[in-house]
Amino acid sequence: MYQIFNFLIDSNIPLPELPEFHDGSARYTFEMARKDVMDNNMDWLHHWRQPDGEISMSVARSGNGYCLRFPTLADFYIPLQGDHIFCTASPEIPEETIRHLLLDQVIPRITGQKSHIILHASSVEIDGRVVAFLGEAGQGKSTLAGSLHNRGYHLVGDDSLLVQKRDFDVYCIPGYCGLRLYSDTATILENTPRRWEQVAHYSSKKRLILHRSPPGEIRPKPLAAIFVIRPFADNGNKHIDISPLSGADVLMQVLKHALVLNPFEPHMPGNIFLAIGAIARSNLAFYTLAYPHKLDLLPVIHEAIFRHLDSSKRKSGTLE
């Protein structure tokens, strides 16, 4: 068994990205199925598309479960009853591709379907509190988190983050502690020993597992701020824009970047809005962030982020 978020998963294939467990009760069970276990009478609910319009992922509902399909790669079947995940794929699809889809797409979305808030975010720990970066693919979340890690700040996670409110504070826990970067941006990790691993056979991205935490050491940490990265209008200047975010804008941004399996399930909108509303009413600071995507400007961007974190601490009275 392995830990992902604060749950255990029992798997019939190795999951080396995750810390291994030998005791406990598994929330999820994963099985590479020898034959198709799905009901072929499926109602396709939603398609996620790449910028060029090509379908990257689809979700369907059958009489007894959901199918999450990654065209030409694999199908994942999740029965309505229980937390057993089956996968069917062609024999030529390598195991690392199956693991990537399971850990970075399927389990975060299934967990989000259970009314947990799972954000598509990269995150680092700064002065004992976590800072998360939200944004569309290609906006630089992983690069920014990796560059802060290179300065000595602890990388919490990349790509998915579970967040939950406790009293007036918000806590978070990553799916696992790793970083996915293209080779041209991996140069930001000059102070980190290289342990690059292939993410998937169809992608040139590499995964760096930075901390394989011992069992039980992955625990919720306080979340200090969320920065929503928005596209930068490159007009030749080096201006970095950080603006506070509040009210309905917070709700919309968190909802936009929340991972779920089926956003059209009848119970989902109400449950998600209640959970997000509770987070929006917490002491968590929200900002939008726009900056030039130039590696040599990352130290300047870091300092701008630090100034806003310091300001938010003073306003909330938590600065020691």
pLDDT at 82: 67
DSSP letter string, 262-316: -TTSTTHHHHHHHHHHHHHTSS-EEEEEE----GGGHHHHHHHHHHHHHHHHHHH
Query: Is 211 buried (19+), middle (13-18) or exposed (0-12) by CB count in 10 A?
Result: middle
* List of domains in the chain: 2-114 (no CATH), 118-316 (3.40.50)
**Hey, what amino acid is at 162?**
L
- Would you place residue 2 in the very low, low, confident or very high pLDDT band (cuts 50, 70, 90)? very high
Q: Which of 16, 20, 68, 115 minimizes the C-alpha distance to 8? A: 20
Helices (H), 85-129: 95-101, 107-113
Tell me the chain's radius of gyration from C-alpha atoms: 20
31-61 pLDDT, tens per residue?
A: 998 666 666 678 888 899 988 889 999 999 8
Distance from C-alpha of 224 to C-alpha of 208, rounded to nearest angstrom: 25
Backbone phi and psi for residue 72, each to the nearest 5 degrees, phi listed first: 70, 0
How far is the C-alpha of 136 from the C-alpha of 148, rounded, in Å?
19
**pLDDT digit string, tens, across residues 263-280:** 777 666 566 667 777 777
The mean pLDDT of 19-32, rounded to a whole number, is 90
The pLDDT assigned to 194 comes to 61
pTM value is 0.88
Cα 311 from chain centre:
27
pLDDT in tens, 107-153: 999 998 887 889 999 999 998 889 999 988 888 899 999 999 989 89
pLDDT tens digits, 236-265: 566 889 999 887 888 888 888 889 888 777
Residue 66's CB: how many other CB atoms inside 10 A?
22
User: Which strand (E) or helix (H) includes residue 67?
Assistant: strand 65-70
